[in-house]
Structures are given as C-alpha cells and as structure tokens.
Amino acid sequence: MDRLGLNAGLAIVVLVTATAIAADQHVMVQPDDLKWASAPPVLPKGAHIAVLYGDPDKAEPFVFRLKFPAGYKVAAHIHPNDYDLTVLSGTMYLGMGDKFDAARGDGLKAGGYLHLPKNTHHYEWSTEDTVIQLSGIGPVGMTYLDPSDDPRKN
C-alpha cells in the first residue's frame, strides 16, 4: 500500500509539473513581426510601443519596446516599479532629478543598459530616432513630478 501511494504521488507530481511547463511557452518575436502602436497617452505624442511579452498592465513580467522620434522629450517623472532598460538603436539621454535639464543628462548608446529602481526621479530625451526595450514586473505606471507636465492634462 505504501508503494502504491508513493507511485501515485510521483505520478501526480510529474503530471502537475508537465502541465506547468506546457502552460509556460517560450516567446520568439522577429523584428518584422513587431506590432507597433501609438504609446499610451501618459507619454507625449510621437512615441510608439510594441509589447513582446506579458501584459504591462498586470502584476506579471513584461517586455516591451518604445520608439522615440528625434527631438522627443519626457519631463521628470517616477515609476512605481523597477525597470531594466536596453537601448537597441540610437541614443537615449537620461537625467536624474526633479526638473528637465539637458545639461545634466548622460547619453546611453545602442547596446547600453540601465537598471532604474522604482521611484527614481528622472527624465529622458532623444536627439535621433531611438528604440529602447524595457522589462520588469507590472503593472507599469508613470507619475510626473510636476502634474502640469502630464500630457493627459493638455
């Protein structure tokens, strides 16, 4: 009886594990398959987004890309969660602080990486077409330090 119980228990563990693996499929996205759309209205007009993995609005892992045109600027803001940012093309300029000041920022070139802890006061801009990839655990959010900078209010 003990051996039958052990075998039944192992069978259940194997079945549950196989089910969990089947539910967690890999994701592969080719550049030509990206579905770009206008970025959410929390960002100034002109940005585009392509979600690669997950749902950024849910409490789960996500990966998405943002495409910024030359001359794009985002005023000082914070995020409620950590982000990992990689520049895929162009140069993303980032500054730390409560007010936009291009003289205080640093450029992060294609291939560059930034870990941005939650609630870090920062701003960003691009001088050329730039694509970045962001990943983290959602839900994503963005709060402008000066509410009058929020494009949803204009």
* CATH H-level, domain 30-153: superfamily: Jelly Rolls (2.60.120.10)
Q: Which helix (H) or strand (E) holds 68?
A: strand 61-68
Q: 54: which 2 tokens?
A: 């997950």
pTM beyond 0.85: the answer is no
* Burial environment of residue 56 by CB neighbours within 10 A (0 to 12, 13 to 18, 19 or more): buried
Residue-level pLDDT, tens digit, the chain, 154 residues: 444 343 333 333 333 333 333 446 888 999 999 999 999 999 999 999 999 999 999 999 999 999 999 999 999 999 999 999 999 999 999 999 999 999 999 999 999 999 999 999 999 999 999 999 999 999 999 999 999 999 999 7
Domain ranges of the chain: 30-153
Q: In what order do the strands lie in the sheet with 106-109?
A: 106-109, 91-96, 122-125, 73-78, 143-144
